[in-house]
Amino acid sequence: MIKKDIIVFTESRIRFNEVDSMGILWHGHYIKLFEDGREAFGEEHGLSYYDFYNQGIYTPLVHISCDYKLPLEYGDTAIIETKYIDCDAAKLKFEYTIYKNSLEKKVIVSTGKSVQVFLNENRELILSSPQFFIDWKKKMKLL
């Protein structure tokens, strides 16, 4: 079976309170844009943080990386591409590409990756994927 990419695009306007004294988006806010992308992905595809939380599962980040290519500035529109990366392990993996102002021009300003694991209500690591996550993967034709 050929697996298709599951991608969501989200827009975010760069606000004045997010830039430094040079008018450039502060580096830590790129991680916030990744978070915006993950939340939009979850809402669009039925895999939100509430879906996990309602199952008694926490999904903390254990890895995140960001490569900066070009700056975003006050007034720019960030287009966040969030792509789910399927894996056999009990993890959530995403890749991100942030574009400046439009998808048509394809000006990439940053790329990144994140990994989240599953914890139970006692905050203990879950080593196998929860059943509702397996069901979601089947629904998305990943299994």
Q: Which are the catalytic amino acids? A: 20
Q: What are phi and psi of 13, to 5 degrees?
A: -85, 135
- The span from the CA of 106 to the CA of 67, in Å, is 16
- The span from the CA of 137 to the CA of 127, in Å, is 17
Write the single-letter amino acid at 86. D
